[in-house]
Amino acid sequence: KLMVERVKLQQSQKVMSDEKTVLVQQTNALQEQLDAQVIMNQKYEETIALLRNSVLILEKELNMMHQTLDAHKRKTIESAQTSADLKLHLDRYHAQLKEVQELVAEKSEALERQNFKNRRLQEEAKNLNRKLERMRKLEMASNKDEVLLEEIREYKEILRCPACKNKQRDAILSKCFHVFCYDCLKSRYDSRQRKCPKCNTAFGQSDMHKIWLV
């Protein structure tokens, strides 16, 4: 019987070791992905900064063009052809400005999507690290029951609404997929504080959905 117990213990330790190895690999892979996303975000931000600078330059040039056009209108001695050429340049600058503004909006939206993806990855990495920490505690603990009870307490804490720290989570925001209790979301919506308490993403009534976790 002692030999059987020892074999079971060895098998259990091997399973835990394998799970720990997988968790470490997943955590490392997520970290590499997060690092790559950070670099990509920096490039997005640099591109947006350059585009915004281009917008400022174009706006200054456009303002100068308007001033020149006004001067030409006041001075009737200038030829109609010069005014027509200037108007053509103005139209071209307007088109360029609109194009750059649209590009800035597009890049800003892409950056926002990337930031949202990064937040989700960070949450996933945090959960994996938490799970890995529990595995380590189980390996080192002399009293497994105490560790399991602590895990149960942590899981109950996870199920609790992070906004009010009281009620159970039973509603999700489809804009960012963060979960709270419905009463907290309804209260924020009614008081016009219509931003996610966790990531500050704006939401409307149609983004609030009831869920059942247990």
The stretches in the chain having pLDDT less than 70 are: 1-2, 76-80, 138-139, 141-147, 214
The model carries a pTM of 0.45
What is the 3-class SS of the chain, one letter each residue? Answer: CHHHHHHHHHHHHHHHHHHHHHHHHHHHHHHHHHHHHHHHHHHHHHHHHHHHHHHHHHHHHHHHHHHHHHHHHHCCCCCHHHHHHHHHHHHHHHHHHHHHHHHHHHHHHHHHHHHHHHHHHHHHHHHHHHHHHHHHHHHHCCCHHHHHHHHHHHHHHHHECCCCCCCECCEEECCCCCEECHHHHHHHHHCCCCECCCCCCECCHHHEEECCCC
Q: What is the pLDDT of residues 198-214, one digit of tens each?
A: 888 899 999 999 998 76
Domains recognised in the chain with CATH numbers: 2-159 (1.10.287.1490), 161-214 (3.30.40.10)
What per-residue confidence (pLDDT) applies to 210?
Answer: 94
